[in-house]
Structure 1
């Protein structure tokens, strides 16, 4: 793994994540198969994503990943950076803000860095406010900057 994964197995350790920076994650290549799979799931068949020939004549010189595909990868990337007690996970709660400064060309690799800006005790769980930056390998501007909310509940997933 590119960065060290942080594990917070108790409520006290989750609360202590406030102010912590984690990452980067490992690189994840955004292949055309993944983009097409997202298009099938979201029924979003825009030519800039799924018509390789037409996209090669478009403004990006080839197909790009959907912006919402980038967002859909956030829970996976976050879980690679932050863990909880065995069998526990954080549930995605929402976004306060999201921007996509740079398109993700198909075939490029992305990774995520996260800054935990706040953690609030909900009484039975914690809410984490996390500033996220998704980078593209070799590109100066990020693919996505967002502030995400995750909720951790000390409950193991059922088998």
Structure 2
């Protein structure tokens, strides 16, 4: 494993990944979740529920402001992960799925999030190698994480 800088890890072999199993990487830099990003996500997905898009109504709602979609937070994992590590092995990396995803705390518009990653499994399979990584996305000022997810990436030989 090589380190490109103090935060970014470069996994240049499957062994370098296996040697890091159970080790927390991060946290990475903060990313602000602006209302414009929430609105764009709502447009793309068709989920324009008032809790995400109606600023006026959301002020009197349960969170006092609009909140990001949980799936928006999940969809930002490639960006957040890229600030933590790079897998530079295989011909391609494919999102294979998620084993478990939870959204314990809301991300209010204008607040910042950042991620930590812990590789938890690296196992050979017929189409290549499966890498499972547990992510914890924290939201600034919250005692609970915004999201906890375990994702699976297929590393294609």
TM-score range, shorter chain: 0.7 to 0.9
Aligned to 1:35: 38
Residue 110 (structure 2) aligns with: 107
Provide the C-alpha distance between the structure 1 equivalents of 2:22 and 2:92, rounded to a whole number of angstroms.
20
Residues 17, 119 of structure 2: 8 Å contact kept: no
Per-residue Cα deviation, 1:33-85 (whole angstroms, up to 9, x for no partner): 10001001101100010011111111110100001101111122112211122
Is the contact between residue 15 and residue 121 of structure 1 (CA under 8 Å) also seen in structure 2? Answer: no
Which residues in structure 2 correspond to 1:62-101 (within 5 Å)?
Answer: 62-85=65-88, 90-101=93-104
The whole-number CA distance in structure 2 between the counterparts of 1:136 and 1:84 is: 26
Query: Scaled by the length of structure 2, what TM-score is found?
Result: 0.88
Shift of 1:23: 1.0
TM-score normalised per structure 1:
0.87
Deviation of the 1:87 alpha carbon: 9.9
Question: For residue 157 of structure 1, what is the aligned residue in structure 2?
Answer: none
8 A contact 1:3–1:22 mirrored in 2 = no
Matched residue, 1:51: 54
- Most deviating of 12-21 and 76-85: 12-21
What is the DSSP-based 3-state SS (H/G/I as helix, E as strand, rest coil) of the residue aligned with 1:19? coil
Between Structure 1 and Structure 2, which shows a larger proportion of strand residues? 2
Deviation at 1:109, TM superposition (A): 0.2
